[in-house]
Amino acid sequence: MHSIFDPSFQLIAALAGLAAFLVAGILTRQRTPKGLRLPPGPRGLPLIGNALDMPKEREWETYNEWAEKYGELVHVKVFQTNIVIINSRRLANELFEKRSSNYSDRPQLTMLCDLMGWDWGMAFQRYSDSWRKHRRAFHEKFHSGAVGIFKTSQIKHSRDLLRRLLVKPDDFAKHLRHVAGAIIMEVTYGIHIKPEDDPYIINADEASRGIGEAGVPGTFMVDRLPWLRHLPDWLPGMTFKEKARKWHKITTDMKELPYQYAKAEVDAGRADECFVSVHLEELTAKDKLTPEEEEVVKNAAGIAFTGGSDTTVSLMTTFILAMALHPEVQKKAQKELDSVLGGVRLVEFEDESELPYISAVVKETMRWHPLFPQSLAHAAVEEDVVGEYYIPKGSIVIGNSWRLLHNEEDFGPNTDKFIPERFLEKSAIRDPETTGSFGYGRRICPGMHMAQNLLFIEIASILQTFDISGPRDANGTELPMEYNMTSGIFSYPVDLKCSIVPRSKAAVQLIEESLKTTT
C-alpha cells in the first residue's frame, strides 16, 4: 500500500487527475443554443482548443490579426475556457456599458489571486458587494473633484524629477519610478520615502512585475487547470509554485507594511493627512471602525499604491520614446510652452488651459501604445446573445484596447504614428480615456484622474527644460533608437537608451531656483 507522500503515488494521482479532466471535458462539452453560433475565430484542436494559438508575446499583434480576419467579435477556446475578444467601440459600449451588470465580473485567475495572494486587489476582485465597498472607498478620495488636493505633492516631486534628470539623465527610468512612488506614498500613507533605493518602492516594483506576468489569463497553465496547484513540487512543470510563493510574500509585504506604519501614526496622533488617515479618522468618528471596514481601507490603499507607483511610470517611459522618435512633436510642444511661460518660470497646473498641444501630447501618449493593450479581462456572469452570436456563461471577455485606440474612424489616419494634432482637430470625437486606455464600464480605473494630472505636469515640465533624442556616441552623433516593448498585461518600452540634456543654461537655472521653493 502506498502512502500519499510516496512520489509514485503522487505521480499516479497526477495522471488520474489529468485523465479525469479530459473525460470531464468530453462529457460536459457546451452546446450552443439552436439558431445561434459562437463568434468566429481560429479553428481549434480536440480537447485543448486554441491553446497552441494563444500568443506568448506581443499579444496585441495576434489579436489585431484575428480582428482583421474575423471581425468585431472573435472567439477562441483554451481547454474548457471560452474567450471572447471585442474589437469595436460599438460592441465595447454595448457589452461593457449597456450590459455592464453582466460584463463587470473578473475571471478567477488561480495563479494571480489564489496563489500569489491578489484576491484582495480591487482590480482583480469578482463583481460583488465586497468589490463595491472597495470601489466606493477608493472613489471617495480619487474622483475627479477630489484629486486636486494631490497637486501640491505632484508639483513638488515633478520639480525633484527635473533635478534628478539634471544630475543623472541616463537613470531616467529609475527617476520616474522614484517620483511616482514618492507621490503615491505621501497621498496614500503619509510616508516620505528615502531619497534613493527606498524599500517600499523596490517592493512595489517587484509586485507589479508579478502582476504583469500573471495577469493575462492563461499565462500559467494552472489558470486553465486549477487542480495543478495540488500536485507535488517535484513534478515537471511545477515551477509556477516557487514563483507564486515568492510573489505572495512580496504582495503581502507591499500591502501590510506601509499600512501598519500609517495606522501607527494615526494611533499616535501624528499622521499627515492621507488616504489611510482620513478614512480611519472618519470611520472612528462615526464609530464604524470594524475589522471588516479597516480591511477595506487597507486593501484600497494597497491597490492605490500598486497602480500609482507603476501606471504613470510606464506611460512616461512611452512618452520619452515618442519624443526621441518624433523631434518635430517635441519642438512644437516646446514652442507652445515658451510662448505661454516666457522662460521666466516653470509650468504649473493652472497653465493647462493655455497649453492645448501639451494636453494633446498627453492624450496621444495614452493612445499611441496603450499601457494595457488587451485591458484587464472581464467575465460574463450569465450566458448572452449578441446579434447572431452566443456568449457562454463564464466566458473571459477581453476589450481589444489596442484595436480601438488605433481605429481610424475615431482617431483619424496614420494611427500607428504619434500625431498629437489629431486631438486638436474639430473632427476629433474620441478621447483615449473613454476608449479603453483606462479600462471599460464599471471596471474603469478609478485612479485615472490622478494619473492624468501627473502625466500632464511631468510631460510639460520635462519638455520645458530638456531636449530628448536618441542615444549619442562619444562624438555626439545621434544613434538609432533601440528598445523592446514588454508583453503581458502591461506593455511599455524597456532597454530604452536615449539622450536627455538641458535645453539651455536658463532652463538649468529655472530648475535650481524651483528647488529652493519646494524644499
Which residues participate in the annotated binding site for heme? Answer: 445
Q: Which residues contact 477 (CB under 8 A, 6 or more apart)?
A: none
Alpha carbons 9 and 484: distance in angstroms, whole number: 45
Characterize the bridge pairing of strands 81-86 and 73-78: antiparallel
457 in Cβ contact with 347 (< 8 Å): yes
Q: Residue 84, SS3?
A: strand
Return phi, psi of residue 485, to 5°.
-100, 130
Mark 362-394 as b/e (b = at least 16 C-beta within 10 Å): bbbbbbbbbbbbbbbbbbbbebbebeebbbbeb
Alpha carbons 162 and 514: distance in angstroms, whole number: 10
Alpha carbons 244 and 371: distance in angstroms, whole number: 24
Binding residues are 445
Q: Residue 474, SS3?
A: coil
Max CA distance (Å), the chain: 86
Return phi, psi of residue 133, to 5°.
-65, -45
Phi-psi region of 436 (alpha: psi -120 to 50; beta: other; left: phi over 0): left
Q: Which residues contact 43 (CB under 8 A, 6 or more apart)?
A: none
Instruction: For cell 515568492, name the residue.
Output: 246
65 in Cβ contact with 59 (< 8 Å): no
Q: CA angle, corner 260, sides to 258 and 264, nearest 5?
A: 120
What is each CA distance from 34 to 72, 75, 386, 389, 390, in whole angstroms?
22, 18, 14, 11, 10
Alpha carbons 154 and 97: distance in angstroms, whole number: 32
Q: Residue 237, SS3?
A: coil
Q: Residue 407, SS3?
A: coil
| Other Cβ atoms within 10 Å of 109 Cβ, number | 25
Residue-wise DSSP of 483-514: -EE--SS---EES---EEEES-HHHHHHHHHH
Assigned C-alpha cell, 180: 511616482
Q: Which helix (H) or strand (E) covers residue 403, if one does? A: helix 401-405
DSSP letter at 272 equals: P
